[in-house]
Structure 1
Amino acid sequence: MGKKAITILMVFILLFGIMNIGFSQSRNPSRQEVEKIIEEVATKRGIPSIIMKCIAKKESTFRQFDSKGRPLMGANKYAGIMQIDIEGNIYNSDKLKNDPVYNIEAGADHLLNKWKIANDKMIQIGNMDPNILEHWYFALWGYNGLLERNNPNIKDKTYQDKIYEIALNDYNQRINPINKRSIPSRGGHPRSDRRISTPEEYHEGDIIKYQVDDLVKPDTMEKANGKEQLVLHDAPRGKAIGTVKVDQTMTILEGPVLKRGFYFYKVRVNEDSREGWVYGNWIALSTDNS
């Protein structure tokens, strides 16, 4: 997608974000509104939007509140649309329960954490390009808990299978599962550095890739202990060499470079001319682009 098209999309996102402020604390947004929020968040976080939509359908049927206007809770500890743990001391529990946008952002953050675990500690599927839907198999397993019940050799219909079923039934999007013979028959999730092939028939998502000379800014998740800083690295997934403040801008110099499941971009910080590499998941196109 070109710079002009991305700019138009990000302006829409900004306007829609402003509109979201008006959500009532006891009114469920419509499914269409929730799906628009998910598309906005997925765009910022470098996640195929259909993956997040299917999780939201499975976890809550797109509901932030129950029929009495109370926060939707699962097992008294999982809140809202994405059913995020309020006891983990990572996120603001009140916002998880009452703010659908914050809840969806936390869901994206949670899913990216599972994606990182899948890339670091589990069987690799192809090159683990995040824009290939079939590559999210183990991250989806992790979203629901790295439990033996989600091993397809033990249970006929796993959490992953249910997500794929929603994708097909609700969005007419087929996602092919990996061959279950590639997964150990027992012992929970597969702890391995083996690599298996991407299914012969695979499907691409809608992740936006930035271009050289694009002007971007940090866009990180606001957690319970404050807004996280964007880290500058000396190489893709390399050593941290500094941070970028939220009011600074960066110019894309190189990228995207795929490294262990994540897209990285080499940037120059415009305010002080530092250069380094950043995760593409935590930046957004600046509205100053023309």
Structure 2
Amino acid sequence: MKLMGKLCLTAVLTLGLLQPGVSAEATGTDFSSNCTKYGVLKPNVNPSFQHMNCLLTNAALAADIPPEVVKAVATQENGKWQQFGIKPADSGIGLMQVTNYPGYSKEKLKNDVIYNIDAGISILSKKYDSNVPKIKGAGRNIIENWYFPVMAYNGIKPVNSPLIKATGKKNIKAYQEEVFSKIVKDSLLKSANLAQFPFTTADFEYDPTSNQNIVFRKMEYSIKDLHPTVYQFKAGNRVMVTVDSVKVRVHPDTTKSAKNVGKNTVLLVRGNFVYSKNSANQFVWYPVRTADQKIKGYISSAYIKKL
């Protein structure tokens, strides 16, 4: 997290919103225990990509945050998803680039990846609960509803204004815009129309020459075609294919394919998601079948939505 985020978070902690007495040990056990099949965490050794993917995903689900959001924040903060052997950015620590705020142990933030993930996610979750704009009728499961909490994770400063005040154009270099572009790239279709807020410059009051917080003049937005997280499908759920043609794979990877299914094909989810055997992929795979059971296999979470 950059300095601008630290200033905001210090104020939040002063108000007692982060409950600093709650440690990672209190919440980390459950989400990490789901990932033991990927290996045992060792001191000063970075977990594998799959292991880290599992840790971030389960920690996000435990905190009721879309894993797509958490993983994109981790990528923005730490592109290689490493806890150890990285050069800190602006005194940020570890995978989630957390700073040693009151209530957090600097040594644990450095040496305990579970503690570091838990701290970063706790901060992000509190940002959702803070006084930032939301989407009308949307809850925590909607990816777009995390636009402003993600902004606040880094800092509600002029540099992160969604629009450039002088021109009214989208500020593509804003922290949250970069995070959301990573969600599209790594978790959704590259053509996904994500975070299309109807912003106007009147929505934000700030002095672009200062480092004072932005004042939000509009606290609620109406957006159609929102994107719920795709990590909550269960066995028995029906989903629909969102692209013209996609392969249902024999295994949860791209090495072999079964048959193509077309857009709007209804599939039945057969069980929980699994992680890709291809370590470069952040998305997950769902075991599915067609209603007539003629096609059965795995489909990428990027190509389906709940029916």
Q: Same fold (TM over 0.5)?
A: yes
Match of 2:268 in 1: none
TM-score (norm 1): 0.58
1:167 to 183, 187, 192: 183
Pairing 1:112–2:125 present: yes
1:205 to 222, 226, 229: 229
Residue 96 of structure 1, CA deviation: 0.8
Distance, in Å, in 2 between the alignment partners of 1:151 and 1:31 is 32
Match of 2:289 in 1: none
Count of residue pairs the alignment pairs up: 189
**SS of the counterpart of 2:228?**
coil
Alpha-carbon distance change, 14 to 73 in structure 1, aligned in 2, over 3 angstroms: closer
Match of 2:59 in 1: 41
Equivalent AA in structure 1 for residue 216 of structure 2: R
Residue 33 of structure 1, CA deviation: 1.2
2:151 to 138, 141, 152: 141
Distance, in Å, in 1 between the alignment partners of 2:87 and 2:68 is 22
Whether the 8 Å contact between 1:64 and 1:72 is mirrored in structure 2 is no
**SS of the counterpart of 1:52?**
helix
Alpha-carbon distance change, 148 to 200 in structure 1, aligned in 2, over 3 angstroms: same
Residue 170 of structure 1, CA deviation: 1.6
Distance, in Å, in 1 between the alignment partners of 2:163 and 2:205 is 5
Residue 180 of structure 1, CA deviation: 2.4
Residue 16 of structure 1, CA deviation: 3.1
Match of 1:79 in 2: 93
- Rg larger in 1 or in 2? 2
Mapping of 1:1-290 within 5 angstroms?
13=31, 15-16=33-34, 22-61=40-79, 62-66=81-85, 72-75=87-90, 77-86=91-100, 88-117=101-130, 121-154=131-164, 155-173=171-189, 174=192, 175-181=194-200, 183-184=203-204, 186-187=206-207, 188-192=213-217, 194-197=219-222, 199-206=223-230
State the Cα RMSD in Å. 2.7
* Greater relative contact order (CA < 8 Å, ≥ 6 in sequence): 1
Whether the 8 Å contact between 1:122 and 1:191 is mirrored in structure 2 is yes
Whether the 8 Å contact between 1:131 and 1:206 is mirrored in structure 2 is no
**SS of the counterpart of 1:85?**
coil
Equivalent AA in structure 1 for residue 48 of structure 2: S
Residue 123 of structure 1, CA deviation: 2.7
Distance, in Å, in 1 between the alignment partners of 2:47 and 2:62 is 21
Distance, in Å, in 1 between the alignment partners of 2:30 and 2:98 is 27
Equivalent AA in structure 1 for residue 82 of structure 2: R
Residue 129 of structure 1, CA deviation: 0.7
TM-score (norm 2): 0.55
Unaligned 5+ residue runs, structure 1?
Answer: 1-10, 210-290
**SS of the counterpart of 2:216?**
coil
**SS of the counterpart of 2:196?**
coil
**SS of the counterpart of 1:179?**
coil
Match of 1:6 in 2: none
Distance, in Å, in 1 between the alignment partners of 2:34 and 2:196 is 34
Equivalent AA in structure 1 for residue 228 of structure 2: E
**SS of the counterpart of 2:117?**
helix
Whether the 8 Å contact between 2:133 and 2:216 is mirrored in structure 1 is yes
Residue 193 of structure 1, CA deviation: 6.2
Alpha-carbon distance change, 20 to 104 in structure 1, aligned in 2, over 3 angstroms: farther
Deviations 1:90-130 (A, max 9, x none): 2121111111111111111010111111xxx2333213411
Whether the 8 Å contact between 2:139 and 2:145 is mirrored in structure 1 is yes
Match of 1:245 in 2: none
Query: Matched residues, percent identical?
Result: 25
Unaligned 5+ residue runs, structure 2?
Answer: 1-28, 165-170, 208-212, 234-307
**SS of the counterpart of 2:156?**
coil
